Chains A and B, each alone.
Chain A
Amino acid sequence: MRRAKILTHPDRQASASAPFPVAGFLSLPPRSLARVWVCGLAVLLLALTPPAAAQQEEKPLEGINRGNYNIKQTFEFGGRWTDFTGNLDVYRTFVDLEAGPRLLEHTLEMRSLDHKGLLFDDFFLHSFGYGGDPENVTRLRAYKNRWYNFSATFHRNRNYWDFNLLANPLNPPTSNPAVAITDSPHRMFLVRRRSDVNLTLLPQSVVRLRFGYGRNVMEGPSFSSFHEGTDILVFQGWKTTLDNYSAGIDLRVFPRTNISYDQFFTKYKGDTTWEDRSLNFRLSDGRPVDLGLIFNTGAGQPCATPLLPDGTVNPTCNAFLAYSRQGRVRTLFPTEQLSFQSSYFKNVDFSGRIAYSSADNELVGYDELFQGRVTRTNQSQFTVQAPAQGRRVSVTGDLAATFYATDKFKVVDTFHWQHFRIPGQVLIQECSQFSTSMLITANTFPAINPLLDCPRTNTLGTPVHTNSSPADILIEDISHFLGQDTRTNTFELLYDFTRRTGVRLGYRYTHREITQRLAELADQHFFPDRPNRGACAGRPLEPDGSCRVTTADSHGELFEINEHVLLFGFWARPVDQWRVAFDLEAASADRAFTRISPRQFQIYRLRTSYRVRDWASLNGSIMILERRNNVAQIEHLQHDRSYSFNALLQPNETFMLDFGYDFNDVFSQTNICFTVGSAPPPPGSVPCPFVGGLPLQGLSFYNHDVHYGHFQLMWKPIRRLTTHLGYAVTSTTGSTLILAPNTPPGPLSYNYHKPTAGLSLEMNRNVTWKVQWGYYGYNEKQLPDVFSSPRDFRGNLVLGAVRFAF
């Protein structure tokens, strides 16, 4: 295993290196930096820690009274040191805790002593994770009796993601050249900042006003892929922003009744861009070129001989000279919602809501450019403009009623209706140029298209097409529609035999109608040579030798599903200390929209808790989910079963032990058809009976067993010293159908160990020292594969901190 420097990233591949910033402050070698942190922390602690008071009975912190407020505040800051071996990318994907100073936690609490504060009666602020942790959160709330309630949250989440098996083409080592993809082509290094602010005015009055604002921004460098001839790694500059505004009013003017109206306005902006920045090879004329992610020369990917003997790129190979794509997505979602709740009438509770939302989506300024070569079509360049619009109209209605027939018996009915429709339309305008080689400029045919003026080269002549070449000029108007109407009614009878036991029986019916429609109108202009290709086959030519054709196509479908669900539940509390709850859902539907949607499913849930003593409790649960679409040609079976146990022992404030175990068993199988070319077919494959040209059918199976164990021990041997010891381990085994030879089973079988230990020493009422150790050990139970880097890692993290409270 290589020993990676977690503080800097000098050894990352230059061509696919993530352009994320390197913290200059953290560029010292880890051990030297550790010494700096330890020494600095020790000096700081010694300087700030007042002498320990003599042993005396400690009272809870009372805070400080200043003016009209009682103030309590805590600071916990420290530093983390890390020692790491293994796959840095996977460690950062799973854990991403780095070395450095941290503001671990801060709380501020202010309470008005006479409940008549000037701006607020109560104020609470809590933050954690600042200084370099991947999750930074701040929560604030304040209220002034009668006048307002205010809350705000801020989340900042650093999402480093690079698990090398995702979207990995698994280039074979027999290719020439052989290029193993060691990072995920879809890795990302994003930061999400999400904030929410909510204000309620006059919270205790019969008329309350509510206002809210939320913002969600996600941005950062990431990678994607694009297919045209070959498949390239595309730099994806991610930038999305969502703003949500809300205003609402609650009316409680009628006895035991609340009516609310809410207005939401949501605005989404998508400004992500894509660009090929992996031009790592060169043509003989010196121009940089990208041969893409795929290197399987035995299969002609990107071509049989991508590199010439002199090391330059074969100019007739699939490759990219340039690629870029951008377009601004703007979506507005106004939503109105009316809701109510009433228990005004004798023995009946009502609640309901109706909401209407209409989203308008627009793609503006869509611009796409490709330059390179597609061997199948001879395309050397295409440009695309594609203005698009979409809408999502949604109506949601809910109405629920509970009738209390007697003290023990009640009847509940809930009706849910949701209707959405999503029409969309795009006008694709595409201009293509064709050439037999990247070293040969494409010829421009002198024909004029009245609908679209395409870019031209300086070389007039006849383009060189293949029979598979698309139209030289394409104008395509496509309309697509997706809609669904769902109506669900749930009827339940609930009876409490005694105050210690009860049962419920119910029935739920759901009717869904799914509609899809597609309409295409295309104007295609084919230039010589081969003007009678594609849709122009057999058609008369224009005087200039080209061929124009307008094609139209439309189709649609309506898919209806009826689902019946039996509901049953039972709860009991034989003694005060012991409770048991069981519920069952058993469903049957006449159709399934997808092959893996269930026509039948059953859910069984059993939970129990037993308080052996006031200081000891046992909990257990069994959750079983069975799903089937076991019709001919599909034979889809699936189950997800969990068996869990937990015990909590806390006889006093000086000792606590919490331990538990969970076993999860997931299984799925579905018939699929596929082709593996000349590779050996997977065991059990048979000829595929379906029309479609795929030769093989096999059972796509997935087995995954997960054992999870954990314990947490807290012990205070003396009043001022608290020790913590913990361990969590996830151990999995699994298997699945492997279609590509030697495909790594990936994350199906692994061990993930996370032991922890810690000490907290209270120097006095105000100061606590803390030291914590954590270990993260991930190892996959498999031999290293030839396609990707091993994903195992081991990380030791030590945290030293001091907590001030006053």
Chain B
Amino acid sequence: MTAHPIRKRILLAGVALCAVLFGAGQLFGGAGGKKSPVAGPRTQQAEATKYAGAEACQACHAEVYEKFEATPHWKTMLETRRGPEWQGCEACHGPGADHIEAGGDKTKIFNFKGVSTKTISERCLQCHLYGEEHSNFARSAHNVNDVSCVDCHSVHAAKEKQFLLVRSQPELCYTCHLEVKPQFDRPFRHRVNQGLVDCTDCHNQHGGFVTRQLRSTAAQDAVCFTCHTDKAGPFVFEHAPVKTEGCMACHVPHGSSNPRLLRRSQINLLCLECHTLTVDSDVPGIPAFHNQSQKYQACTVCHVTVHGSNVSSVFFK
């Protein structure tokens, strides 16, 4: 496979981007001045003496520390390249020396209760902002609707251990997305309640570039093709709306009363609603002999490969 000009351009763009960022950083960078968008302990570094260390926290919060030790956040204890503000309990709660000296005064340390959701999320994003999974959280539907990280995650009391969730999927998502729960209980549905598919298999809960925070395949196509690989094509004869309007032109994504999660119970109506000659539409209408009182009401008996075909322009095969 020979390198394509566009691939080369992407690589060059990456190198150029690095150079621009580095140069701009030299020119404009540095702390201080206007408030950083991501306020937190790092940008207002306390003196090193203000940090007591996680072992000091353990003396009073033994049970909490024991649970913390069993979570991936314990890895912050190994963060020795940077200062104590990146390690252990104080990586999230801020410097704790004053809190200890004051005999456990809660006002002397950062408490996640009683602060705004934006403040909470900014604190978590200090570490978790980077990488495609979280890089769009600030613009995500969750964040702009006042949903913070701790609405779904719990560092100290997680019920689901892999991602430190307060509840497992999909029950966690159903807490707010009430209208989705009954859809997954319909006869024809994606098997989310059975544990085969998670909400996060299709949606990026932390935000993304695609509408409804949908994910994409590796080839930047609709996420549906991750599992439904035979529908991805490319085909010689594409059924254009599949690629231009998306799978939701004909299907509902979560669950339906209709077979194949279609939007209509009668397939012929779904087809006829597009395949009727109209001005301002080049979609072909059905021929005159397609008597809907006969076999032709079952369009897909003949037009089988409606998602695309390599050999038949009318999707017979």
Contacts and interface: CB of A to CB of B under 8 A. Distances in A.
Interface residues of B, number: 133
A625 to B, nearest CB: 10
B36 interface: yes
B93 interface: no
Contacts of B55: none
Contacts of B183: 664
B146 A675 contact: no
Contacts of B286: 674, 694
B58 interface: no
A83 interface: no
Given A168-B298, A353-B132, A482 B243 contact: yes
Interface string A118-156: 000010100011000011010101010110000000010
A392 B219 contact: yes
B191 interface: yes
Interface in B4-62: 4, 6-7, 10-11, 13-14, 17-18, 21-22, 24-25, 28-29, 33-38
B181 interface: yes
Contacts of A141: 162
A398 B229 contact: no
B266 A169 contact: no
A361 to B, nearest CB: 5
A516 B290 contact: no
A146 B78 contact: yes
Interface string A324-339: 0101010101111111
A794 to B, nearest CB: 14
Given A347-B34, A673-B276, A143 B1 contact: no
Contacts of A274: 317
B176 A752 contact: no
A225 B161 CA distance: 48
- The B contact surface, by secondary structure, is loop
Contacts of A344: 21, 24-25, 29
Given A218-B229, A480-B238, A672 B273 contact: yes
Contacts of B174: 646
Given A137-B196, A192-B227, A299-B294, A412 B220 contact: no
Contact of B272 (A157, A192, A499, A672): A672
A404 interface: yes
A662 B181 contact: yes
A117 interface: no
Contacts, number: 474
A739 B290 CA distance: 12
A708 interface: yes
Interface stretch (A306-314, A383-391, A445-453, A542-550): A383-391
A642 B182 CA distance: 10
B116 interface: yes
A614 interface: no
A573 B304 CA distance: 52
B294 A596 contact: no
A365 B220 CA distance: 29
Nearest to A342: B21
Contacts of B115: 499
A266 B25 CA distance: 37
Contacts of A171: 295
A607 B114 CA distance: 22
Given A226-B317, A676-B291, A343 B129 contact: yes
A73 interface: no
A390 B10 contact: no
A428 interface: yes
Contacts of B259: 163, 165-166, 184, 747
A432 interface: no
B14 A338 contact: yes
B182 A730 contact: yes
B293 A422 contact: no
A402 interface: yes
Contacts of B241: 593-594, 597
A322 interface: no
B145 interface: yes
A591 B280 contact: yes
Given A299-B294, A591-B280, A593-B241, A694 B34 contact: no
A597 B249 contact: yes
Nearest to A126: B162
B157 interface: no
B159 interface: no
B195 A137 contact: yes
Given A420-B243, A747-B258, A700 B38 contact: no
B310 A646 contact: no
Contact of A750 (B14, B136, B216, B257): B257
B200 to A, nearest CB: 12
Interface in A693-751: 693-694, 700, 702, 704, 706, 708, 710, 728, 730, 732, 734, 736-741, 743, 745-748, 750
A494 B7 CA distance: 37
A739 B138 CA distance: 51
B292 A674 contact: yes
A115 B74 contact: yes
Contacts of A268: 229, 232
Contact of A480 (B129, B237, B279): B237
A711 to B, nearest CB: 13
A410 B38 CA distance: 12
A92 interface: no
21 contacts: A145-B78, A216-B227, A331-B234, A337-B220, A341-B132, A341-B135, A346-B36, A402-B138, A484-B244, A581-B146, A591-B280, A594-B283, A660-B181, A674-B272, A675-B290, A690-B276, A702-B265, A730-B185, A736-B269, A748-B257, A752-B185
Closest 4 CB pairs of A and B: A424-B236, A644-B178, A708-B182, A679-B293
Given A296-B295, A662-B182, 14 more contacts: A166-B259, A250-B131, A343-B37, A343-B38, A347-B34, A353-B209, A359-B219, A390-B234, A559-B282, A593-B244, A594-B241, A594-B283, A619-B176, A740-B294
